[in-house]
Amino acid sequence: MDYADGGDVHQAIKRCEGKLLPELQIIEWFVQSCFALKHVHERKVLHRDLKTQNIFLMATGQIKLGDFGIARVLDATKDYAKTMVGTPYYLSPEIIEDKPYNFKSDVWSLGVVLYEMTTLKHPFDADSLVILASKILKDQYPLPDAMYSDNLQALIKSMLCK
């Protein structure tokens, strides 16, 4: 098991102290996260708790996905999971609606991570789970700062599309 000597993305965001991350840094972490998630999904594993605290940074610049404690192996790529698990801020609409879900739910969570890297905040925030769920289902969130490219903003929008 590797030691994440660079901490995690959540800690990196906290260290920003309100100063937005450069787009190139975001893209670097995001692309590596995509490859890591693709590797996991090719093995029919649904992570189910993808969040900034579970994307670990190595001193080499490499990232690693971690905390597979609630991951589930699907029988086939078209199989679905049905249990409501995960961190509330990163739950996909399917999970909130108590519908069967699959790998697309992890992609949604990665979209939340991408949004968080561009804004240093969650796209959906609330004081209660009920209000948080409502906001996620309404699919309304503040846009990232205009300093980020149209392509990056469109990517976030496509990943958080209900």
Q: CATH number of the domain at 100, please.
A: 1.10.510.10
Taking 60 as the threshold, does the pLDDT of residue 149 lie above it?
Answer: yes
Burial 21-58 (b: 16+ CB within 10 A, else e): bebeebbebbebbeebbeebbeeebbbbbbbbbbbbbe
Question: How buried is residue 154: exposed, middle or buried, by Cβ count under 10 Å (0-12/13-18/19+)?
Answer: exposed
CA-CA distance, 161 to 56, in Å (whole number)?
26
- Position 4 in a domain: no
CA distance 145 to 121: 12
Select the more confidently predicted residue: 72 or 19.
Answer: 19
**From the candidates 2, 5, 8, 49, which is the catalytic residue?**
49
Q: What's phi and psi for 8, nearest 5 deg?
A: -135, 175
Q: What is the mean pLDDT of residues 113-142?
A: 92
Is the per-residue pLDDT at 135 higher than 70? yes
Identify whether 155 is part of a domain: yes
Residue 13 lies in a domain: yes
Residue 58 lies in a domain: yes
For residue 84, tell me if it sits in a domain. Answer: yes
pLDDT for 105: 84
Whether the per-residue pLDDT at 93 is higher than 60: the answer is: yes
pLDDT at res. 19: 94
- 8 belongs to the catalytic site: no
Average pLDDT score, the chain: 85
**Dihedral angle over CA of 130, 132, 12, 108, nearest 10:** 110
Name the domain count of the chain.
1
Q: Distance of alpha carbon 62 from its chain centroid, rounded? A: 17
Q: What is the pLDDT of residues 123-132, one digit of tens each?
A: 999 998 889 9
In a domain, 110, yes or no: yes
pLDDT of residue 33: 96
Confidence at residue 64, expressed as pLDDT on a 0 to 100 scale: 85
pLDDT at 31: 97
Residue 136 belongs to what domain range? 9-159
